[in-house]
């Protein structure tokens, strides 16, 4: 049975492109389009789509306001499609807080229609499986958790985390539970450029550890979290006893840049038994082989369990590949990391 999609965007060109590209997939049916939230509201009630794609900047009512109302009264899996700008990144973070399943950017100079089409189809199919809950306007999703007891001593270890769909909330849950002197953390979250910087800044405001978008040559040290910038791969490197990251362009790996596979394989080679690998919610299989390599090189590896995942794709594939030592619910992952360290 096809996934029924409503495309909401004020641009007639975008609506036409999305409809044409999505209809290429026999598993997806575009049942309608809407140029603004008011028309979208009526079509949602009449057509009952499984998933909607939503622009942020629209006339009469902006996409964020509409999304918040939608999640309160008629929750639907929603993929937000935003412009590739710093402001677009900030609004994308707000959309995820408001209940969007995922965010992506519109085609541009560094993001072709072809790339967008493949990714959007995958995101739509993953979103259709998500059970979206009603949102309470008074709920504070950014509430800071009390961190676990600080490490009495730190050793030269590295924590590598990979995530995709649903990962922004999962990462927030993990990172806000870790103490200030936790070993250095390197993260790949599938997200476009500019979006990752806004995400890092947001986490930095609510975490004990320092969180930043990674730059080439950044040191991986206790108390610091480095998030791979969108559209760049990130690899761990070592000089003597010191770890640092190499950030660079390169071909898409598993249809992603940044790729969890690239990070995990570098961590397996460089850190081996001094590494902890964590794979969180996400669609696809990115990172599965890298986690198996980490496990084979004696790293301690953890996968998020199916019940707590938004999409049990990446963890499932890592488990199937034989690279996972522990399978844990999301809330247990910080304690499992700390216990090992």
Cα–Cα distance measured from residue 100 to residue 118, given in angstroms and rounded to the nearest whole number = 19
The catalytic position among 82, 190, 218, 256 is: 190
10-residue block means of pLDDT along the chain (341 residues)? 92 91 93 94 95 88 91 93 71 88 75 74 89 65 62 77 94 96 96 88 95 97 96 94 94 92 97 96 94 97 96 96 97 95 84
Looking at residue 110, what is its pLDDT? 53
Sheet (strand 51-55) strand order: 28-34, 3-8, 51-55, 78-82, 102-105
164 noted as active-site residue: yes
Sequence-ordered alpha helix ranges (H) in 128-273 = 167-175, 195-204, 260-270
**How far is C-alpha 258 from the chain's CA centre?**
11
Please give the CATH architecture assigned to the domain spanning 158-340: 3-Layer(aba) Sandwich (3.40)
Assigned token pair, 153: 């001593």
Looking at residue 144, what is its pLDDT? 59
**How far is C-alpha 287 from the chain's CA centre?**
13
The residues near 135 (Cβ < 8 Å, ≥ 6 apart) are 68, 71, 72, 75, 98, 99
Please give the CATH architecture assigned to the domain spanning 3-127: 3-Layer(aba) Sandwich (3.40)
Residue 165, SS3?
coil
Tell me the CA end-to-end span of the chain in Å, nearest whole number: 47
For the chain, the domains span 3-127, 158-340
109 noted as active-site residue: no
Report the candidate in 122, 212, 224 with the shortest Cα–Cα distance to residue 182: 224
286 noted as active-site residue: yes
Looking at residue 85, what is its pLDDT? 61
Cα–Cα distance measured from residue 267 to residue 183, given in angstroms and rounded to the nearest whole number = 14
Looking at residue 136, what is its pLDDT? 63
Tell me if 187 sits within 8 A of 161, measured CB to CB. yes
DSSP string, 260-310: HHHHHHHHHHHTGGGEEEEE-SBSS-TTHHHHHHHHHTT-EEEEE-TTT-S
Per-residue buried b or exposed e for 52-61, using 16+ beta carbons within 10 Å of the residue's own CB: bbbbbebeee
- Measured on CA atoms in the order 107, 109, 110, 114, is the torsion positive or negative? positive
Same fold, 3-127 and 158-340: yes
DSSP string, 65-93: HHHHHHHHHS---EEEEE-SSHHHHHHHH
Looking at residue 112, what is its pLDDT? 64
Which residues of the chain form beta strands (DSSP E)? 3-8, 28-34, 51-55, 78-82, 102-105, 158-163, 185-189, 210-213, 219-220, 224-227, 233-239, 242-248, 275-279, 300-304, 326-328
The catalytic position among 82, 117, 164, 266 is: 164
The catalytic position among 286, 295, 305, 308 is: 286
Looking at residue 317, what is its pLDDT? 97
Tell me if 100 sits within 8 A of 165, measured CB to CB. no
Rg over alpha carbons for the chain, rounded to the nearest Å, is: 20
The pTM assigned to this predicted structure is 0.88
The strand pairing partners of 163, in sequence order, are 189
């Amino acid at each position: 049975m096809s996934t029924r999609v409503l495309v909401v965007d004020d641009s007639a060109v975008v609506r036409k492109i999305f409809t044409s590209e999505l209809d290429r997939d026999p598993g997806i049916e575009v049942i309608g389009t809407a140029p603004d939230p008011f028309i979208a509201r009526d079509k949602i009630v009449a057509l009952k789509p499984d998933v909607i794609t939503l622009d942020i900047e629209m006339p009469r009512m902006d996409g964020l306001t509409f999304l918040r109302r939608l999640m309160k009264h008629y929750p639907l899996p929603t993929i937000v499609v935003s412009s590739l700008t710093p402001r677009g990144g900030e609004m994308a973070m707000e959309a995820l807080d408001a209940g969007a399943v995922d965010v992506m950017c519109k085609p541009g100079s560094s993001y072709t229609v072809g790339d967008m089409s493949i990714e959007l189809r995958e995101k739509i199919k993953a979103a259709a499986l998500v059970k979206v809950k009603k949102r309470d306007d008074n709920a504070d999703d950014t509430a800071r958790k009390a961190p676990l007891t600080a490490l009495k001593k730190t050793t030269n270890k590295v924590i590598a985390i990979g995530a995709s769909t649903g990962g922004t909330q999962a990462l927030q849950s993990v990172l806000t539970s870790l103490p200030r002197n936790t070993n250095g953390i390197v993260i790949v979250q599938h997200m476009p450029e500019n979006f990752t910087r806004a995400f890092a800044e947001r986490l930095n405001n609510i975490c004990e550890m320092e969180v930043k978008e990674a730059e080439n040559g950044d040191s991986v040290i206790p108390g610091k979290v480095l998030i791979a910038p969108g559209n760049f791969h990130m690899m761990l490197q070592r000089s003597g006893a010191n770890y640092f990251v190499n950030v660079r362009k390169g071909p898409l790996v598993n249809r992603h840049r940044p790729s969890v596979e690239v990070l995990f394989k570098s961590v397996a080679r460089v850190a081996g038994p001094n590494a902890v690998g964590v794979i969180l919610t996400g669609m696809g299989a990115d990172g599965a082989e890298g986690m198996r390599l980490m496990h084979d090189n004696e790293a301690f590896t953890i996968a998020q369990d199916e019940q707590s995942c938004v999409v049990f794709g990446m963890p499932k594939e890592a488990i199937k590949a034989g690279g996972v030592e522990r399978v844990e619910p999301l809330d247990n992952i910080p304690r499992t990391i700390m216990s090992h360290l």
